[in-house]
Amino acid sequence: MGEEDSRSTGNRGLYRIGGVALFGAAIALIVQLPLVSLASNALYANATATGLANVSHVSASYAGFISSIVALDVFGIIAFGAWYFAFRRINLVGALGTLLIGVVALTVDLAVDLPIRFAEISAASEYAAASTTQQPGILAVFQFMLDFSNDTLLMSTFLLGIAFLFLAFAMLKGKSLFGNLISYLALLTGILVLIQVPLALPASTTPFLVSYLAATIVQIVFFILAGLKFYRM
């Protein structure tokens, strides 16, 4: 009965916006795929002349990769809001966990991690134009930014994985809204996102990229199917 109430009293306009946001998130992830292998050189660069050169050489790809994450985060926040309203009458704990943890994860990414990533590109350009006496100072600043942005990325990724697990919990409670396939895809997404956290280390670049690729493909399928379902509610 609660599931029917949620569907009948829910804001259809909000659900359609949520569906469009999920389509947008899927497109952002598709755009990321050809950029991630190049961007990973900047993500894992050490604060050395070689590391800064890597950032400088892939700055266009890196900037494109970061911009796609900005779009993904914005669409994600909208989608988490729509999911809350879809499941609040069915599973309030799952709906609240999804909304609060998901929005915090994406907001941290938008407000902290991504601006620092753009600053890293600027630091690489400054290093190339700096004198020999200025370069050590730029290296030190770059190292701080790199460490801080990577730590922030780990935190936001972990929170995002937990948010997807809460979403899966809510979806499995109200299977008639999205069905078994989409519900289990939400669960698989949460697991794959969490697996990326221990692999996101400089010494584990290839395993991280493999886990990232797997999580991204699953997310694309999940976002498209969930978006279609949302749009038709």
- The more confident residue out of 35 and 73 is 73
pLDDT-derived band at 41 (thresholds 50, 70, 90) equals: low
E strand segments, 149-189: none
What pLDDT does residue 38 have?
66
Q: Residue 179: left if φ>0, alpha if ψ -120 to 50, beta else—which one?
A: left
Residue 109 CB coordination number (10 Å) = 23
pLDDT tens digits, one per residue of 202-224: 555 677 778 888 999 999 999 99
The pTM assigned to this predicted structure is 0.85
E strand segments, the chain: none
pLDDT-derived band at 119 (thresholds 50, 70, 90) equals: confident
What pLDDT does residue 181 have?
93
pLDDT at residue 8 greater than cutoff 90? no
Buried b (16+ CB within 10 A) or exposed e, 9-28: ebeeebbbbbbbbbbbbbbb
pLDDT tens digits, one per residue of 155-202: 999 999 999 999 999 999 887 788 899 999 999 999 999 998 888 765
Q: What is the distance between the alpha carbons of residues 95 and 92, in angstroms, rounded to a whole number?
A: 5
Tell me the two tokens of residue 225: 């199917």
pLDDT-derived band at 232 (thresholds 50, 70, 90) equals: confident
What pLDDT does residue 62 have?
77
What pLDDT does residue 223 have?
96
pLDDT at residue 2 greater than cutoff 50? no
Q: What is the mean pLDDT of residues 26-42?
A: 80
pLDDT tens digits, one per residue of 137-146: 888 888 888 8
